[in-house]
Amino acid sequence: MNETLREALLDLARSAAEPAGYAVRTVQILSHRIPATLQVTVERRDGGDISLDECAGLSAPLGDAIEAAGLLTNAYVLEISSPGIDEELCSDRDFRSFRGFPVAVLHRGSKGTEQRSEGLLLERDAEVVHLNMRGRVKRIKRADVISVRLITPSSDN
């Protein structure tokens, strides 16, 4: 999705979500699906859990706003969801909330190549992301971290 369209959709999503007390985390179009899917991930601004009914309640106002703006001319499915498995951790609150959860960290290794490390999230401080990898603590410099995502627990962890 081009950046101008993504920003316009993000602005529309925020205008529909914020008056209801929600914050928009991500907006993306999954164009490989037929029809395409517009995925909007929302969370409560106060940090509480968001219910399926609340996600559904946001669907109509957001869908109406998108239709009125005429931003998407082809058929699409609007999917509103809450953060969950396979979500990227971004904020300090995310890292506190998901302490102890299994994560995959994509990072640059010592030779500049991308590496993936999986383990239980211990913490993120100003300098380092700390993972428990089978009882050993791995420290990854924040400057080397590309992304941190929640993953489905495996029997190895």
| Residue boundaries of the structural domains of the chain | 3-81, 92-150
* Distance, CA of 44 to chain centre: 14
Q: How confident is the model at residue 155 (pLDDT cuts 50, 70, 90)?
A: low
Q: What is the pLDDT of residues 26-38, one digit of tens each?
A: 888 888 888 888 9
* Percent of the chain at pLDDT exceeding 90: 46
Query: Strand, helix or coil at 116?
Result: strand
Is the pLDDT confidence value at 157 over 50? no
Amino acid at 42: V
Is the pLDDT confidence value at 23 over 50? yes
Give every CB contact of residue 49 below 8 A, 6+ residues apart in sequence. Answer: 82
Amino acid at 90: C
- 92-150: CATH topology: SH3 type barrels. (2.30.30)
Retrieve residue 148's tokens: 């941190």
Q: What is the pLDDT of residues 58-101, one digit of tens each?
A: 999 999 999 999 988 889 999 998 876 557 888 888 898 889 99
Going by CATH, does the domain composed of 3-81 fall within 3.30.300.70?
yes
> Which of 88, 151, 148 has the alpha carbon at shortest distance from 124?
148
Please provide residue 110's backbone torsions phi and psi, each rounded to the nearest 5 degrees.
-65, -25
Buried b (16+ CB within 10 A) or exposed e, 11-22: ebbbebbeeeeb
What's the pTM value of the predicted model, to 2 decimals?
0.59
Q: Which of 24-28, 101-105, 116-120, 126-130 has the lowest mean pLDDT?
A: 24-28
Q: Are 71 and 113 in contact (CB under 8 A)?
A: no
Retrieve residue 152's tokens: 């489905």
Which pLDDT score is estimated for 6? 85
Handedness of CA 95, 12, 37, 54 (dihedral sign): positive
> Which of 30, 80, 26, 93 has the alpha carbon at shortest distance from 50?
80
Which pLDDT score is estimated for 25? 84
Q: What is the pLDDT of residues 107-122, one digit of tens each?
A: 998 888 999 999 999 9
